């Protein structure tokens, strides 16, 4: 298992985050999109997983009133299966709870069973389906939701 540190993303990480994004998605976000998230979107918060001073994964969320929408989560192919996605999601859930968010939501490809299992480990439940959500192949997406309680529950 790779030794990784999870920390808040800054605009200085955008170049490496873009490489992770490009290695992970058929229609990746651009460097400009990530720069916009860092510098102009006050609702956006991202975390990166760093191994040997290299960004090997990231996760992002938009906080909308008292809920969070997970925008993307990705790990470089050669680092997958080592628990990094789990660490990133754990950090995001901790952050969401600290901000008093009551729930988190995301979309996931119907075919991405590995990601679905990860989300379900964190209490996410399937709450719907978006038909033809993904533009690259018109694949449907499942909508997942997780309710967040306070630490004292």
Residue 63 burial (CB count, 10 A): 18
> 125 lies in a domain?
yes
Q: Is 10 a member of any domain?
A: yes
Q: Is residue 9 part of a domain?
A: yes
Domain assignment of residue 29, given as a range:
5-147
Task: Give me the mean pLDDT over the 50-60 stretch.
Answer: 97
pLDDT band of residue 150 (cuts 50, 70, 90) is: low
3-class SS of residue 140? coil
Residues 58-72 have a mean pLDDT of: 96
Predicted confidence band of residue 135 (pLDDT cuts 50, 70, 90): confident
Looking at the DSSP bridge assignments, the partners of residue 106 are 144
Predicted confidence (pLDDT) at residue 153 exceeds the cutoff of 50: no
Q: Does residue 17 belong to any structural domain of this protein?
A: yes
Percentage of the chain lying above the pLDDT 90 cut? 92
Tally of structural domains, the chain: 1
- What are the helix and strand counts (H, E) for the chain? 4, 7
Q: Give domain status of residue 68, yes or no.
A: yes
* 153 carries an active-site annotation: no
pLDDT of residue 152: 43
pTM equals 0.92
pLDDT greater at residue 2 or residue 67:
67
Q: Please identify which of the residues 107, 133, 134, 139 carries the catalytic annotation.
A: 107
pLDDT at 1: 64
Q: Is residue 78 part of a domain?
A: yes
Q: What is the CATH number of the domain that holds 126?
A: 3.40.630.30
- Of 79 and 149, the structure prediction assigns the larger pLDDT to 79
CB neighbours of 60 closer than 8 A, spacing ≥ 6? 9, 37, 44, 45, 46, 47, 70, 71, 72, 73
- Out of 16, 21, 46, 119, the active site residue is 119
- 142 tagged catalytic: no
- 153 located within any domain: no
Instruction: Please return the burial class of 44, using the count of CB atoms within 10 Å of its CB with bins 0-12, 13-18 and 19+.
Output: middle
């Amino acid at each position: 298992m790779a030794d990784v540190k999870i920390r808040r993303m800054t605009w200085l990480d955008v170049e490496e985050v873009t490489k992770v994004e490009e290695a992970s998605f058929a229609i990746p976000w651009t460097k400009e999109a990530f720069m916009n998230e860092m510098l102009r979107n006050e609702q956006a918060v991202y975390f990166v997983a760093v191994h040997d001073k290299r960004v090997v994964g990231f996760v992002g969320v938009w906080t909308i009133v008292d809920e969070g929408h997970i925008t993307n989560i990705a790990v470089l192919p050669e680092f997958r299966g080592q628990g990094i996605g789990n660490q990133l999601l754990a950090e995001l859930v901790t952050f969401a709870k600290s901000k008093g968010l009551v729930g988190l939501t995301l979309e996931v490809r119907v075919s991405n069973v590995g990601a679905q299992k990860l989300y379900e480990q964190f209490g996410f439940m399937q709450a719907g389906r978006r038909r033809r959500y993904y533009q690259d192949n018109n694949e449907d997406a499942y909508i997942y939701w997780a309710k967040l309680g306070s630490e004292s529950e």
